[in-house]
Amino acid sequence: MELISPTSPEELAAVLAQASAAARPVVPLGAGIHQHLVAPPPPDALRLGTTALDRVLEHVPADLTLTVQAGARLGQVQVVLAGHGQWLPWDPPGGAAATIGGLLACGLAGPLRQAYGTPRDWVLGARIALADGTLVKSGGKVVKNVAGYDLHKLHIGAYGTLGVIVEVTFKLAPQPAAWRTLLAESADLAGALEMAARLAAPPLAPASVVVCGGGTHYRVAVRFSGVPAAVARQGQYAAGLGATALADAAAAALWQSLSDFGTPPDARPLVRLGIAPQQRDAYRTAIDALGAHDGVYQPTIGAARMLCADLAGLAAARAIVEPLGGAVVVEHGAGDAPRWGAARDSARLMHALRQRLDPAGVLNPGRAFVD
Amino acid sequence: MAVTPAARRAGRDDVIARLRAVLPAQALLTHPDEMMLYEYDGSALDMALPDLVVVPGDTAETAAAVRIAAEAGWPIVARGAGTGLSGGSVASEGGLVISVARLDRILAIDPAGRSARVQPGVVNVELSERAAPHGLHFAPDPSSQKSSTIGGNAAENAGGPHCLKYGITTNHILAATLVLSDGSIVTLDRQAPDAPEYDLLGVVVGSEGTLGVITELVVRLTPNPERIQTFLAVYDALDAAADTVSAIIAAGIIPAALEMLEGDGIRVVEESVHAGYPIDAEAVLLIEIDGLHEELETQASEIAALCDRHGARALQVARDEEQRRRLWAGRKGALAACGRLKPHYHIQDGVVPRSRLSEVLRLTRSVAARHDLLIVNIFHAGDGNLHPLLLFDVREPGVRERAIAASEEILRACVAVGGTLSGEHGIGLEKRDYMSWIFSDADIATMLAVRAVFDPRDVMNPCKQLPTGASCGEIRHAAGAARAVAAGAWI
């Protein structure tokens, strides 16, 4: 497939305009790390890369704001921010080498979402190249702004089907002064989930609580961030609940592996589950139904990502989760199984929106949930 | 497209008959005397009597009323408590006002899920009161929180002092049930993470009633902090206070709230509220931090050092809850107290980068001097959200025009330093025609395209928020600007 890597937003937009005019499918591409999350591209598609749009346009440390081009790699941006004691509290899968635009388009987030939320909470504005070649922006560069619709939110998790993100402004956070990670073990999922709930309840306010494993061996990892004394007190409290402290180097490696779980994928189907976090029973029974081999679970968020032996339990898991507003998505290795699950209540609006913003249907056609 | 006023008058009896068929008798207001309450909002910027008002009791009644009005080509304006400050709930083009006053129930509080299911007419502060036994609260705390509704907060993406740390309303809305202009009902539910769905909810929140009528919400509840500490920093110079704010943020400290009062505002607030502010101060900062005990100790010493380094004359800490309440009463009572200075006001809501505060504050003073107006800044300093309060007496010839000119000049200065038109009050009617200062024609056309997806008939709060160039009326600046003060609002 042909790859074009424009060196300016205008050039990128012009490529889109031509593709729309010729009705030629376009595959927007960052570092290409997460292309497996959507269906394979049409054979005649043009790959439109953003990696040449990799500049940090404006970092104002005193305002805790950052404007970057979409092709900048998250790992490199974090290095720049770390020099000022700041960061984006965002640890998505493949985050070191993936581009910011690609990560946003895929709507990815990692274990830090427990305390810090998702990029939706940190994006102040964005510049988008629409399918017809128009460059538009929404939001702005200040931390509080209600002027106009927050259209940038539409592109987070849209897999590039509504436009190509070319520039993003973030609110930043100061880096925590201290970290501490503890681990607990459980022979079954129910026990691990119960432990995770206790580790996330007051007086604890963890940065992350994750269950990992499968079969008869599960681990519960918790980490605290903040001022040293508060981190120490929470660490002691968590130890009292039965968790054991982990050394810093081992903790860093553990969290990296938890963030990157399933990335890159192997031969097994990679399944993502999301349900409102209060639906604890449905969460557990849906995971059981999938018969997961191995997984990373965030029960206090209602999220899970699993490698399954097969997809025999997919329909049963969906039957549990979908009536409660949740979803089970086969991120990779779907084979003939339906990747996205049942249509959501907003399907009609979503189709109308896609039709309106990409009338020629050139942006990742047939690849995401909307087609 | 909405029909002409004459066509609405001609079809009014027919619309009334159709509404009577689907609504209980008391849910339909037709007489001008009954509808007068609905002709303005907190800004008193514009006034307009709707053609009819309905007060539906559930989603189905709302959808039925919307369908009837839309089929008649009438504008549809949803309305909460009417405390908005940008004209969002004023029926400027006439039509049907849908009050959510009867949709006022808290349907469920889920302590485990830290969320609540509410109807849009629930008053903001009531939800926090009901959640308090669970150690939870609803974080957005707009100044109007004692009267404004959660539906209105969501429509306007409302702010408040504690949004500095906890984020504005959009960060706290998890799901919404929306009635579209064809009378259909759609649920936008983001309680489940990572759902394969466009973030339509993120567009609906803050859309000022232009995409649909919200009839139910699920909102996030936030755990109450382990501890709260509140400080009053006192300054003899405005610049020193502004520089302290910039320094606190630059040091990476995000307080729960960081508010400023300056100039004559301090004196009148103290005279009316007795909050404990020194009346000879040039500026005061109200700084609140919350979180874990140890976090507070660290932050408190850092903040004290920064206040000292930037020339604070004194730094007091609230000894107890009563003193904390009084310090906040001063801030919350500031707008009303300023009524002692002049009978009328106009509030600006521009935002600037936190590093540019002192230069813009100085500019507001020079603008006021040049236009011969009294100006008081009482605002959310920590997130750069200015609220210059232009005070005047409309009986003075030409003063209203001078106030509007001064207001525009300040707003242009906010935009010039990289800021924006509104931090929390919304665009509505007030700033609709300023949108081109920060957005290109293509930006606005894209927003209008998204609006058309939700509302192809263009009947949902038409002529608000986005300049359409269509047949929208000129914005009229009403004279009676003291109403919100009488209602006890603050900013």
The reply to whether residue B192 touches residue A65, judged by beta carbons under 8 angstroms, is: no
Give me the count of residues in chain A: 371
Question: A17 and A156: one domain?
Answer: yes
> CA A274, A277, A279, A282 torsion: positive or negative?
positive
Instruction: Give the one of A153, A203, A276 whose C-beta lies nearest to B226's C-beta.
Output: A203
Question: A216 and A247: one domain?
Answer: yes
How remote is the C-alpha of B234 from its chain's centroid?
Answer: 28
Surface of A (67-86) touching B: CB under 8 A: 85-86
Best A65, A81, A142 residue to mutate vs chain B (most B CBs within 10 Å): A142
Euclidean distance between CA atoms B109 and B134, whole angstroms: 9
Question: A139 and A186: one domain?
Answer: no
Q: Which residues in chain B have their CB less than 8 angstroms from residue A275's CB?
A: 192
Q: Name the minimum distance, in Å, from the CA of A4 to any CA of chain B.
A: 25
Q: What is the pLDDT of residue B241?
A: 97
Euclidean distance between CA atoms A295 and A258, whole angstroms: 9
Q: How confident is the model at residue B482 (pLDDT cuts 50, 70, 90)?
A: very low
Question: A228 and A299: one domain?
Answer: yes
Instruction: Give the one of B191, B298, B380 whose C-beta lies nearest to A276's C-beta.
Output: B191
CB-based contact, A201 to chain B, within 8 Å: no
Question: A222 and A304: one domain?
Answer: yes
pLDDT digits (tens, 9 = 90+) for B319-361: 999 999 999 999 988 888 998 899 888 889 999 999 999 999 9
The answer on pLDDT for B398 being more than 80 is: yes
Best B156, B166, B199 residue to mutate vs chain A (most A CBs within 10 Å): B199
Q: Which residues in chain B have their CB less than 8 angstroms from residue A227's CB?
A: 294-295, 298
Selection from A298, A161, A157, A169 nearest residue A223 by Cα: A298
Find, in chain B, the residue whose alpha carbon is nearest to that of A113.
Answer: B193
The reply to whether residue A142 touches residue B420, judged by beta carbons under 8 angstroms, is: yes
Rounded to 5 degrees, φ, ψ at A282 are -65, -40
Query: What is the residue-averaged pLDDT of chain B?
Result: 93
Best A144, A170, A236 residue to mutate vs chain B (most B CBs within 10 Å): A144
Question: A109 and A210: one domain?
Answer: no
Q: Which DSSP letter does residue B490 get?
A: -
CB-based contact, A145 to chain B, within 8 Å: yes
CATH 3.30.43.10, chain B: domain bounds: 5-102+450-486
Residue A358 lies in a domain: no
CATH code at B106-223: 3.30.465.10
Euclidean distance between CA atoms B461 and B472, whole angstroms: 11
Q: Chain A to chain B, count of Cβ pairs less than 8 Å apart?
A: 248
The answer on pLDDT for B198 being more than 60 is: yes
Q: Which residues in chain A have their CB less than 8 angstroms from residue B246's CB?
A: 62
The reply to whether residue A229 touches residue B439, judged by beta carbons under 8 angstroms, is: no
Residue A262 lies in a domain: yes
Euclidean distance between CA atoms B337 and B378, whole angstroms: 11
Instruction: Give the one of B159, B427, B446 whose C-beta lies nearest to A147's C-beta.
Output: B427
Task: Give, in order, the Cα–Cα distances in Å from A111 to each of A67, A115, A235, A302, B120.
Answer: 24, 9, 18, 12, 33
pLDDT digits (tens, 9 = 90+) for B137-149: 999 999 889 999 9
CB-based contact, A269 to chain B, within 8 Å: no
Surface of A (310-329) touching B: CB under 8 A: 321, 324-327, 329
CATH 3.30.465.10, chain B: domain bounds: 106-223
Q: Which two tokens stand for residue B143?
A: 């100044």
CATH number of the structural domain spanning residue A211: 3.40.462.40
User: In degrees, to the nearest 5, what angle opens at C-alpha A53 toward C-alphas A47 and A55?
Assistant: 160
The reply to whether residue A142 touches residue B352, judged by beta carbons under 8 angstroms, is: yes
Best B198, B303, B424 residue to mutate vs chain A (most A CBs within 10 Å): B198
Question: A184 and A155: one domain?
Answer: no
- Quickly list DSSP for B143-187: TTTTT-BHHHHHHHT---TTHHHH--GGGGEEEEEEE-TTS-EEE
Q: What is the pLDDT of residue A361?
A: 97
Selection from A325, A350, A329, A327 nearest residue A338 by Cα: A329
Domain of A192, in residue numbers: 178-332
Instruction: Give the one of A60, A134, A144 whose C-beta lies nearest to B159's C-beta.
Output: A144
Question: A35 and A116: one domain?
Answer: yes
Q: Which two tokens stand for residue B161?
A: 């002092």
What mean pLDDT comes out for the span B446-452?
98
Task: Give, in order, the Cα–Cα distances in Å from A90 to each of A60, A115, A351.
Answer: 19, 10, 30
Q: What is the pLDDT of residue B134?
A: 97
Q: Name the minimum distance, in Å, from the CA of B428 to any CA of chain A.
A: 10
Asked if residue A153 lies in contact with residue A211, where contact means CB atoms within 8 angstroms, the answer is no
The reply to whether residue A353 touches residue B425, judged by beta carbons under 8 angstroms, is: no
Find, in chain A, the residue whose alpha carbon is nearest to that of B227.
Answer: A203
Q: Which residues in chain A have their CB less than 8 angstroms from residue B156's CB?
A: 146
Give me the count of residues in chain B: 491
The reply to whether residue A64 touches residue B191, judged by beta carbons under 8 angstroms, is: no
Last residue of a domain, one of A150, A174, A198: A174
The reply to whether residue B466 touches residue A148, judged by beta carbons under 8 angstroms, is: yes
The answer on pLDDT for B477 being more than 70 is: no
Model pTM?
0.96
CATH 3.40.462.10, chain B: domain bounds: 227-416
Asked if residue A169 lies in contact with residue A66, where contact means CB atoms within 8 angstroms, the answer is yes
Instruction: Give the one of B197, B253, B450 whose C-beta lies nearest to A151's C-beta.
Output: B450
Expressed in angstroms, the distance from the first to the final Cα of chain B is 35
Euclidean distance between CA atoms A83 and A232, whole angstroms: 25
Based on the structure, what is the number of domains in chain A?
2
The answer on pLDDT for B2 being more than 90 is: no
The reply to whether residue B188 touches residue A302, judged by beta carbons under 8 angstroms, is: no
The reply to whether residue B447 touches residue A149, judged by beta carbons under 8 angstroms, is: yes
How remote is the C-alpha of A94 from its chain's centroid?
Answer: 10
Surface of A (10-49) touching B: CB under 8 A: none
Instruction: Give the one of A60, A150, A326 whose C-beta lies nearest to B202's C-beta.
Output: A150
Selection from B141, B292, B287 nearest residue B227 by Cα: B292
What mean pLDDT comes out for the span B420-436?
95
Instruction: Give the one of A120, A137, A278 whose C-beta lies nearest to B112's C-beta.
Output: A278
Torsion from C-alpha of B131, B132, B133, B136, nearest 10 degrees = 70
Q: Which DSSP letter does residue B27 get?
A: G
pLDDT by position in tens, chain A (length 371): 799 999 999 999 999 999 999 999 999 999 999 999 999 999 999 999 999 999 999 999 999 999 999 999 999 999 999 999 999 999 999 999 999 999 999 999 999 999 999 999 999 999 999 999 999 999 999 999 999 999 999 999 999 999 999 999 999 999 999 999 999 999 999 999 999 999 999 899 999 999 999 989 999 999 999 999 999 999 999 999 999 999 999 999 999 999 999 999 999 999 999 999 999 999 999 999 999 779 999 999 999 999 999 999 999 999 999 999 999 999 999 999 999 999 999 999 999 999 999 999 999 999 999 98
Q: How confident is the model at residue B489 (pLDDT cuts 50, 70, 90)?
A: very low
Per-residue three-class SS string for chain A: CCEECCCCHHHHHHHHHHHHHHCCCEEEECCCCCHHHCCCCCCCCEEEECCCCCCEEEEEHHHCEEEEECCCEHHHHHHHHHCCCEECCCCCCCCCCCEHHHHHHCCCCCCCHHHHCCHHHCEEEEEEECCCCCEEEEECCCCCCCCCCCCHHHHCCCCCCCCEEEEEEEECEECCCEEEEEEEEECCHHHHHHHHHHHCCCCCCCCEEEEEEECCEEEEEEEEEECHHHHHHHHHHHHHCCCEEECHHHHHHHHHHHHCCCCCCCCCCEEEEECCCCCHHHHHHHHHHHCEEEEEEECCCCEEEEEECCCCCHHHHHHHHHHHCCEEEEEECCCCCCCCCCCCCCHHHHHHHHHHHCCCCCECCCCCCCC
What mean pLDDT comes out for the span B415-443?
96
The reply to whether residue A346 touches residue B171, judged by beta carbons under 8 angstroms, is: no
Question: A39 and A162: one domain?
Answer: yes
Q: What is the pLDDT of residue B475?
A: 54
Instruction: Give the one of B198, B419, B431 whose C-beta lies nearest to A353's C-beta.
Output: B198
pLDDT digits (tens, 9 = 90+) for B257-300: 999 999 888 999 999 999 999 999 999 999 999 999 999 999 99
Q: What is the pLDDT of residue A368?
A: 97
Instruction: Give the one of B171, B194, B354 whose C-beta lies nearest to A63's C-beta.
Output: B354
- Residue position matching structure tokens 């896609």: A354
Best A58, A106, A146 residue to mutate vs chain B (most B CBs within 10 Å): A146
Question: A239 and A215: one domain?
Answer: yes
Instruction: Answer yes or no: is the ipTM higher than 0.90.
Output: yes
Instruction: Give the one of A135, A230, A344 whose C-beta lies nearest to B195's C-beta.
Output: A344
Q: Which residues in chain B have their CB less than 8 angstroms from residue A353's CB?
A: 198, 200, 450, 453
CATH number of the structural domain spanning residue A36: 3.30.465.10
Q: Which burial class, exposed, middle or buried, applies to A173 when counting CB atoms under 10 A from its CB (0-12, 13-18, 19+)?
A: middle
Residue A122 lies in a domain: yes
Residues 6+ away with beta carbon under 8 Å from A347:
none
The reply to whether residue A136 touches residue B446, judged by beta carbons under 8 angstroms, is: yes
Residues 6+ away with beta carbon under 8 Å from B401:
none
Best A149, A172, A340, A371 residue to mutate vs chain B (most B CBs within 10 Å): A149
Euclidean distance between CA atoms A77 and A119, whole angstroms: 15
The reply to whether residue A302 touches residue B193, judged by beta carbons under 8 angstroms, is: yes
The reply to whether residue A148 touches residue B444, judged by beta carbons under 8 angstroms, is: yes
Question: A85 and A226: one domain?
Answer: no
Euclidean distance between CA atoms A15 and A23, whole angstroms: 12
Q: Name the minimum distance, in Å, from the CA of B295 to any CA of chain A.
A: 6
Best B110, B163, B164, B194 residue to mutate vs chain A (most A CBs within 10 Å): B194
Q: Which residues in chain B have their CB less than 8 angstroms from residue A326's CB?
A: 192, 195
Residue A140 lies in a domain: yes
Q: Which residues in chain A have their CB less than 8 angstroms from residue B113's CB?
A: 276-278
Higher pLDDT, B3 or A69: A69
Residue A366 lies in a domain: no
Selection from B252, B58, B319 nearest residue A227 by Cα: B252
How remote is the C-alpha of A125 from its chain's centroid?
Answer: 18
The yes/no answer on whether domain B227-416 falls in CATH 3.40.50.720 is no
Classify domain B5-102+450-486 at the CATH class level: alpha beta
Q: How confident is the model at residue B481 (pLDDT cuts 50, 70, 90)?
A: very low
Instruction: Give the one of B206, B254, B352 whose C-beta lies nearest to A146's C-beta.
Output: B206
Question: A194 and A301: one domain?
Answer: yes
Find, in chain B, the residue whose alpha carbon is nearest to that of A303.
Answer: B193
